[in-house]
Amino acid sequence: MISPKIFYKLGRLGYKEVEEEIRPNRRGHKLTVIEQSDINKELQLAPTQDSQNEVVHDWTSINQVVEQLSLRHYIIERSLATAVFLALKLQKPLLLEGEAGVGKTEIAKVLADTMGARLIRLQCYEGLDVSSAVYEWNYARQMLQIRLLESQEVKNVGATELFGPEFLIKRPLLQALEGTVEQPTVLLIDELDRADEEFEAFLLEVLSDYQVTVPEIGTIKAIRPPVVIITSNRTREIHDALKRRCLYHWIDYPSLEKEYRILLAKVPNAPATLAEEVVSFVQDIRKMELYKLPGVAETLDWATALLALDQRDLEEKTVEDTLGVILKYQEDVEKLKGDKVRALVQKAKQTAQSKKK
């Protein structure tokens, strides 16, 4: 006989429709229960190592950070390289703030590739809770276990037989604590400012001691602490208690010269003239009063789009037709059309010509 307390606990935890092996999500759509291995595949991003680049196991200097990230086409300033180096050596989370599209998320991906590490990404959103970020119980498997025990006429089944590690579905934060000496992990907590302040409070335990407490099992502590990169677009302020546990760095829009180097590194088939004109054009746009300024990501997308249109330099008509690649609001697009585009294209060409002299 299965203890009524077990059924009560399953119900209290939010168990729904397990016998049909389906669970509704927040929007009411029914989702088929999937295996843990499938969940893991969705939650993690495998490192994409370049066979020509060596994996770094021990960081010895700031210059090494600059060199290794440059090998993987991430152009990094020394101040940011210093913050990354200290985060690695001190085993502290690194909080990166800045406008969207300036390379905050990319640095976690490049670090994982450099270290040969498993990259685990937690994309934050309003309403993010423990069951989505840390763990939840596999209710379908628990109910199947109950049915199995009933068929075997097992009596006095306790909570420990239904709330063991084998029934735990590990979400990104818990997965990140499973890194080993041989297989480190990089945890990317992306756009934390989108999550609620209550979720920030929960992160304090994870970031302070690199551990998670599961009431039914106990405390799970990392053998090797993950490298933690937290990003924020500063749509709201991150709480001071969380900031105190992190190293901090603000990533601004790059200078013209740095953005030119980034473009050539990321889009190596771009002609030098086109790259110079694109970067100059975008740099001038950022000086305007627009609803949303373009980031480096938009610069790269635009250069790629122009190459797809067989452009070797900027042409006024093509620029007008492709403004939607770099500007995401109609009001901003309207501000640039006509004479403004013509003036910006001419200035971009003059800037490119002056660099050749």
Res. 273: pLDDT tops 60: yes
Window from 37-51, 218-232, 343-357 with minimum mean pLDDT: 37-51
Express each pLDDT in 296-311 by its tens digit: 999 999 999 999 999 9
Mean pLDDT across the chain, nearest whole number? 84
C-alpha to C-alpha distance for 15 and 136, rounded to whole angstroms: 11
More confident residue, 143 or 284: 284
Category of 250 on φ-ψ map: left (φ > 0), alpha (ψ -120 to 50) or beta: beta
pLDDT of residue 207: 87
Q: Smallest Cα–Cα separation from 302: which of 237, 348, 338?
A: 348
Strand 118-123 versus strand 168-170 pairing type: unpaired
Percent of the chain with pLDDT over 90: 59
Strand 227-232 versus strand 185-190 pairing type: parallel
Place of tokens 């122009």: 306
Residues forming a β-bridge with 22: 32
C-alpha to C-alpha distance for 307 and 266, rounded to whole angstroms: 13
Provide mean pLDDT across the span 90-94.
95
C-alpha to C-alpha distance for 88 and 139, rounded to whole angstroms: 38
* Half-sphere exposure (Cβ direction) of 343: Cα atoms closer than 13 Å: 8
pLDDT of residue 289: 93
| pLDDT band (50, 70, 90) for residue 130 | confident
| pLDDT band (50, 70, 90) for residue 276 | very high
Express each pLDDT in 168-207 by its tens digit: 888 999 999 988 878 899 999 999 999 998 899 889 888 8
Q: Please report, for the chain, the start and end positions of each structural domain, with discontinuous segments joined by +.
A: 4-33+135-169, 46-128+171-250, 256-356
Provide mean pLDDT across the span 245-266.
96
Other Cβ atoms less than 10 A from the Cβ of 268: the count is: 9
Architecture (CATH level 2) of domain 46-128+171-250: 3-Layer(aba) Sandwich (3.40)
pLDDT of residue 147: 81
